[in-house]
Structure 1
Amino acid sequence: MNGKKILFVSSELVPYLPENEVSLMSYEAPRMVNSNGGQIRIFMPRYGNINERRHQLHEVIRLSGMNLVINDMDMPLIIKVASIPKERIQVYFIDNEEYFKRKATFTDENGELFPDNDERAIFFAKGVVETVKKLNWAPDIIHVHGWMASLLPMYLRKVYADEPLFADSKIVTSIYGVGFDGHLNKDLGKKIAFDKVGDDNLSGLDNPTYNNLLKVAVDHSDAVILAAEDIPDDLTEYVANLKKPVLPYVPLQEFEEAYANFYNTEVLN
């Protein structure tokens, strides 16, 4: 991984959120690349239940200040940053008071999905791309973790297809068993269409379930990692029929060599 630039984009990340299969691997994979001489950037949403004082988040004024248009509405983009000192890793947080100030991640106190999770996912995808453009940092690999990040591959391939910074970037999507029940707002496809994404790319989002979101993500990715043992059968079968590199599930204790080899031999070649 020496010298390779890898952009990690995740729904969740320890130590900022509780440990689960997404948040833990979203930490371990960048740590592995970092320790093997790669260059990394990590992005996640700045949910309101992240303790900014404890984790020493601070706003990056030079990156903040632009507005993103979401469903014909101007939404201010705020970028914050924090460090994980023991690993010398820096994390960028995509923030907006309307979408991320509430003291929860994906659901309310009754366990119901937030009705605007669809717009939060769009905002996160566009916010990551626009911030990386401001950083002028061209990644060799963009590795996506978690469903809140699942719209990023499609946005990169369709909305930002002519952006030279990402012309040579390869997209990897990890699929986990941690998803959600039910579906996001049924107007998700219409809101994405506002960004001039063709209908042929949106057919899978007529019913925006967890499985369908991940299918759209892997359709627009160059490679896929099965990052859990208990992935839904529907997704497993879908991935099995893809004509692109797939890394089968590898336990956490053995992932480092497997991921490094997959990046080097399957994704970058």
Structure 2
Amino acid sequence: MKILFIASEVDGLVKTGGLADVARALPLALKRHGHDVRIIMPFYLSVKGRETARHLGGFTLPTREGHTDIPYQTHEMDLEGVPVYLIDFPNYFERPSLYAENNNAYLDNGERFAFFCAASLQATQQLGFQPDIIHCNDWHTALVPMLLRTRYANDPFFAASRSVLTVHNGAFQGVFERGQLWALPELTDIQDEAITQGHAYVNYLKCGVRYADKINAVSPSYAHELTTYLGGHGMAKSFQERSADLSGIINGCDYGDWDPATDPLIPVNYSLTKLAGKRACKQALQQRAGLAQNDWPVFGMVCRLTEQKGLHLLLPILAQFLYHKVQVIIVGTGDPSLADRLRSLVAEHGDKLAFLNEHDNALAHLVEAGSDFFLMPSLFEPCGLNQMYSLAYGTLPIVRAVGGLKDTVVDYDANRQHATGFNFHEPDALALLNTLRRALLFYLQDQEEYVRVQRTAMQTRYLWSDSVNQYESMYQAALNRS
């Protein structure tokens, strides 16, 4: 198949989150399966290696009558054999950050990504790449399926093209005033309640869900949750109406970067058959965190400091849990108020609790390698990667059973033979405390059993090669639509 992968960020060129990981790994995996894949993304100021980009040509995007047409340039870079087309319009994309500065979103984000959606299709046509599948990702690209059904409805170039939308995080929907849509006459006056939000706003993600041929979430459980009023982020009805075309495909994990046997960022490598190095990593982590180098179990956590990651469940019971002989190490940046609450707890329990208010990839690897358990009590988690890293490192995840966490971590009491960690269900602080104590008792009671479960976890793999097969099936189903 010819596949056009449209994304707002791609790891290796520019990255702010997990979307970029998928936008790199999935196209590369599709290429290995023999498909002709091209990526298209904005040409940000911070794109790595931009000085080597090859100029392809300039085009002009027509806009609504009374507005100035938008001239822009296109460039091309190579990502391990996959061509990456870059949409270059400095007014929109030559900025210090991708979406926001100082935690404040750019006020014209709706305008920026409406232009990007329209320019992506126009540039693809002008460059002569005629895709079978146009794979869109999150709200930034969700206007593309609508443009295919409206602006290009009778264009023979895209007559056989079908669109797919992946929802990486449905909480972010791209809701903008109509005034930011002046580059898209098809949307400026639309009154369709399925994609509008009140009279004055358009919801980009709703637009993609309404018009895409197929929709997928990044785990089967999250796909189901999107159709519920509790887990649909206010869009449950939209997902329910498209439930026949909605599926869930778990993300793969890049074990090239996350393998304790070869990881260059940890002090001692270890493996399934040689676990001794994990103890040395634990001591190094304790030293880095300023805690005593003892045999107490270490509960690690690396995350953005947001409510989504379950800090509002952990903070109320953390002092109670620290009454036990445990160490808790939390690494992350984000909400200043959550950081302040963690600092207050450290002031009272500094002998057992460490908070490192920083974003450091090497430290994240050390936490995965040196901890005995890894905390992910998320309010929601579309897929999650840290639990996959934890499994590979023999660090048993403690997770709330939602989204991708539910699909990838097997609870010890639910299935002891195949257990890889501990789950709890209710978004309740006491439920988390009980699960932490359950894991602590398990660790103290039977070290031999702990090691057995640890080895089961380390043998668990979530590979892109498996996910690609499911994406291929979804693409084929999209192509079979009339």
TM-score higher than 0.5: yes
Distance 1:24 1:151 in 2: 22
**Partners of 1:70 and 1:122 within 8 A in 2:** no
Distance 1:171 1:121 in 2: 17
**Partners of 2:75 and 2:88 within 8 A in 1:** yes
Task: Name the residue aligned to 2:38.
Answer: 41
**Partners of 1:13 and 1:26 within 8 A in 2:** yes
The residue type equivalent to 1:134 in the other structure is: Q
- The CA deviation string for residues 131-157 of structure 1, in whole angstroms up to 9 with x for no partner, is 111122221111101322111111111
Deviation of the 1:35 alpha carbon: 0.9
The residue type equivalent to 2:92 in the other structure is: Y
After superposition, residues 109-124 of structure 1 pair within 5 angstroms as 110-124=102-116
SS state of the match for residue 46, structure 2? Answer: coil
- The CA deviation string for residues 235-259 of structure 1, in whole angstroms up to 9 with x for no partner, is 4553233154222242422422221
Deviation of the 1:74 alpha carbon: 2.4
**Partners of 1:193 and 1:199 within 8 A in 2:** no
SS state of the match for residue 77, structure 1? Answer: strand
Unaligned segments of structure 1, at least 5 residues:
none
Structure possessing the higher relative contact order (Cα contacts under 8 Å, 6 or more residues apart): 1
**Partners of 2:194 and 2:238 within 8 A in 1:** no
Residues 83 and 209 (structure 1 numbering): CA distance in 2 closer, same or farther, change over 3 Å? farther
SS state of the match for residue 105, structure 2? Answer: coil
* Most deviating of 180-189 and 31-40: 180-189
Task: Name the residue aligned to 1:168.
Answer: 160
Distance 1:161 1:263 in 2: 20
Deviation of the 1:53 alpha carbon: 4.3
**Partners of 1:48 and 1:100 within 8 A in 2:** yes
Answering whether residue 366 of structure 2 is matched by residue 155 of structure 1, we say: no
Distance 1:181 1:196 in 2: 16
Residues 147 and 5 (structure 1 numbering): CA distance in 2 closer, same or farther, change over 3 Å? same
Task: Name the residue aligned to 1:268.
Answer: 479
Distance 2:170 2:45 in 1: 21
Residues 53 and 204 (structure 1 numbering): CA distance in 2 closer, same or farther, change over 3 Å? closer
Task: Name the residue aligned to 1:79.
Answer: 74
**Partners of 2:163 and 2:212 within 8 A in 1:** yes
Distance 1:46 1:17 in 2: 10
The residue type equivalent to 1:194 in the other structure is: P
Distance 1:243 1:167 in 2: 25
Residues 69 and 115 (structure 1 numbering): CA distance in 2 closer, same or farther, change over 3 Å? farther
Task: Name the residue aligned to 2:422.
Answer: none
Task: Name the residue aligned to 1:68.
Answer: 61
The residue type equivalent to 1:25 in the other structure is: V
Q: 2:55 aligns with which of 51, 56, 59?
A: 59
**Partners of 2:138 and 2:169 within 8 A in 1:** no
Q: 2:468 aligns with which of 256, 262, 267?
A: 256
SS state of the match for residue 84, structure 2? Answer: strand
The residue type equivalent to 1:152 in the other structure is: V
**Partners of 1:159 and 1:197 within 8 A in 2:** no
SS state of the match for residue 49, structure 1? Answer: coil
Distance 2:25 2:141 in 1: 17
Distance 2:19 2:187 in 1: 30
Paired residues in the alignment total: 256
Distance 1:215 1:196 in 2: 13
Answering whether residue 201 of structure 2 is matched by residue 205 of structure 1, we say: no
Greater radius of gyration (CA): 2
Distance 1:165 1:193 in 2: 20
Distance 1:58 1:163 in 2: 28
Unaligned segments of structure 2, at least 5 residues:
253-461
**Partners of 1:188 and 1:205 within 8 A in 2:** no
Answering whether residue 183 of structure 2 is matched by residue 225 of structure 1, we say: no
- The CA deviation string for residues 98-148 of structure 1, in whole angstroms up to 9 with x for no partner, is 11111210112x221212111111211121111111122221111101322
Residues 11 and 236 (structure 1 numbering): CA distance in 2 closer, same or farther, change over 3 Å? farther
How large is the RMSD of aligned CA atoms in angstroms?
Answer: 2.7
Distance 2:191 2:160 in 1: 24
> TM-score by structure 2 length?
0.49
Distance 2:137 2:468 in 1: 16
Residues 112 and 181 (structure 1 numbering): CA distance in 2 closer, same or farther, change over 3 Å? farther
Deviation of the 1:42 alpha carbon: 0.9
After superposition, residues 3-22 of structure 1 pair within 5 angstroms as 4-18=1-15, 20-22=17-19
The residue type equivalent to 1:74 in the other structure is: D
**Partners of 2:173 and 2:206 within 8 A in 1:** no
> TM-score by structure 1 length?
0.84
Distance 2:187 2:237 in 1: 30
Residues 260 and 193 (structure 1 numbering): CA distance in 2 closer, same or farther, change over 3 Å? closer
**Partners of 1:5 and 1:140 within 8 A in 2:** yes
